[in-house]
Amino acid sequence: MAKIRIGWFTFTCCEDSTIVFTELLNKHYKEWFEKFEFVHARILQKDDSKEIQQMDFAFVEGAISSDAQETKLKKIREMSTTLVAIGACAVTGAPSNQRNFFNEMQKKEIRDVLDKFKYKDKVMKLSEVVKVDIAVPGCPMNEQIFLELIKKVINNTTQSS
């Protein structure tokens, strides 16, 4: 049986859902590595600089804060059958989007940083850029909802093969 092709991506955020995910691997890695091929997952790979590959599921953590991130997210969407927003920053934009609510004086103070790193004026949730199929809320992501989703992915694929 072909393995389910998975990608795990991180944009602007604190990466806590990635930490939760790696902690879950302590318990689930045998089962998951049998079922999944991790096509992209910087946390598991020495070099994740290759072109975005075709995936069955792309799990995306973090908010979008630059043009380069927006382009990469669109590519991930194009290359994935199902795109899952992971955690509050990806689902709602917050709390990574705090600067969206700065007053004029605060915005002026950060202008140089935005220009230097080519950041957008506004930080966006994923659904402002691409279609999101499934959302796993929580800050960090809700472990139970994530595990239920993974269980469904495995069961659906096992039944349909």
CA-angle at 52, arms to 86 and 158, nearest 5°:
60
Using CB under 6 A, pick the residue from 11, 36, 60, 87 that binds ligand SF4: 87
Residues present in the chain in total = 161
Q: Tell me the site size for ligand SF4, rule CB under 6 A.
A: 13
The nearer residue to ligand SF4, 14 or 154, going by C-beta atoms, is: 14
Using CB under 6 A, pick the residue from 3, 14, 72, 157 that binds ligand SF4: 14
User: Count of alpha carbons within 13 Å of 150, Cβ hemisphere only?
Assistant: 19
Does 17 help bind ligand SF4 (rule: CB under 6 A)? yes
Does 69 help bind ligand SF4 (rule: CB under 6 A)? no
Only one residue has tokens 């039944």, namely 159
Does 16 help bind ligand SF4 (rule: CB under 6 A)? yes
Distance, in Å, from the CA atom of 92 to the CA atom of 115, rounded to the nearest integer, reads 24
Strands (E), 48-118: 55-61, 64-66, 80-86
Residues at the interface with ligand SF4 (CB under 6 A): 13-14, 16-17, 61-62, 87-89, 95-96, 139-140
